[in-house]
Every structure is written in C-alpha cells, then in structure tokens.
Amino acid sequence: MENTFDQNKYKGLMNFFHTILKIFVIVLYIVLGMMTVGFIVVLFIPRGLLDVDLAVLSGFNERFTNFMEEMDPNYFVGTINVKRSLLAILFRGILNIGFLQFLMINLKTLIKNVKDHQIFEKDNATILKVLGFGFLIASFVLPIFRNVSLRVVTNMLGVFENTTRLFAIQWTHVFMGLVILILAYVFSYGSYLQEEHDLTV
C-alpha cells in the first residue's frame, strides 16, 4: 500500500495552530498587564477606601440560601477590609496567567520550529524539557499560593475557622510534566540520530 503524506494539510494545520497560539499570547499579555496594573493600584489604595459593609452580603440570600441558613444571621453586621484579599486573589491570578503564558510562548516556539521543518532539533528538546520541568514546579508552587489566597480570604470573612486546609499537589501537572519530559528525551535521541545521519551522508 502506497504511503502518502499530505504536505499542504500539514502546513495548513501548523500555520493554523501557530496563528491561534500567537493570538492567545497577545490576549494573555493584555490580561496579565491588566491584572498587574490592578494589583499595583490596589496595593497603593488606602486601606480605608476598601472597607465593605457586611450588610451588602446579606443580599445574596436568594442565591445561596442553603449556605446562608447554616450561618449566624447576626454575622452580617459591621465592616471588613478587603484589601489583603484582593491582593491575594490578584497575585494568584497573575501566577496562574503567567504560567499559562509560559506554556503558550513555548508551544508557539515549538510549533514554529516544526512548521519550518525543524523537528528533531536540540532546541525543540530543550523547549520540551523546560515545559516538563515547568509543569513539575507548578504542581507544587501553584497549590501553595492557592492555599495562601484561600486562607487570606477566609480569615477576612472570619468563617470556616475550623476547616482543615490541606496542601494538595496537582497530580495532573505532575503527570503532564513527566509525559512531556519523556517526549523531550525522545526528541533528544531523535536529534542525536539526525546528527549521526547527517555526518554519515
């Protein structure tokens, strides 16, 4: 059976993915910039301007009826300051978007290399190794900041004080990191074989 390869389809797909990733990178830069500006603005806003009257939260009774029934009705009295919570949430968002941007930039570079027929190259193996180790590091780092931001918010509200907060590694990130590292070493071996082939020709 004749083995054929549709080069036009291949080039079309690579161009499509590269374009989509370029758009994603631009959008993520905009989002990351907005969140960073928001973090800086909140950081320099006087604490007194971010006091919130708890009576406002009582208006959520209709949407969170079951949740509200378990709480003391007298809880929604007084004011709380949301500055630390906003900073924690924005910082966590910056980390998550930053990690996503890190993935998109490396994937875009990888797709560009493949599009230019540079497949089993050392650069591609390096990119995959960076992605793999990035996932492994993120599996530990992101949960830490998730727990910190959750602790700040719950401490602000003064609820769930008895809730045990457990550190949980993101095992999906660990799995992705290991799979990508395996691919990286496959690409490294492919690069080595390509160099050996080029030297013998």
In tens, the pLDDT along 31-42 reads 999 999 999 999
For residues 77 and 62, give the distance between their C-alpha atoms in angstroms, rounded to a whole number: 18
Contact (CB, 8 A) for 145 and 175: no
Residue 106 lies in a domain: yes
Instruction: List helix spans (H) across the chain.
Output: 7-44, 65-69, 83-115, 122-157, 171-200
pLDDT at 174: 92
pLDDT at 65: 46
pLDDT at 107: 92
pTM of the complete model: 0.77
Contact (CB, 8 A) for 164 and 107: no
For residues 132 and 114, give the distance between their C-alpha atoms in angstroms, rounded to a whole number: 18
Contact (CB, 8 A) for 141 and 98: no
Residue 1 lies in a domain: no
Q: What residue numbers bound the domain in which 90 lies?
A: 7-200
pLDDT at 94: 94
Q: How far is CA 73 from the centre of its chain?
A: 37
Residue 2 lies in a domain: no
Residue 192 lies in a domain: yes
Amino acid at site 189 = Y
Read off the DSSP letter of residue 52: E
Please state the domain count of the chain.
1
Residue 82 lies in a domain: yes
CA 59, 60, 65, 69 torsion: positive or negative? negative
Residue 71 lies in a domain: yes
pLDDT at 54: 63
Q: In sequence order, what are the beta bridge partners of 85?
A: none
Residue 85 lies in a domain: yes
Q: In sequence order, what are the beta bridge partners of 80?
A: 52
pLDDT below 70 — which residues of the chain?
A: 1-5, 53-78, 156-167, 197-199, 201
Q: In sequence order, what are the beta bridge partners of 129?
A: none
Q: How far is CA 133 from the centre of its chain?
A: 14
pLDDT at 38: 94
Residue 115 lies in a domain: yes
pLDDT at 103: 94
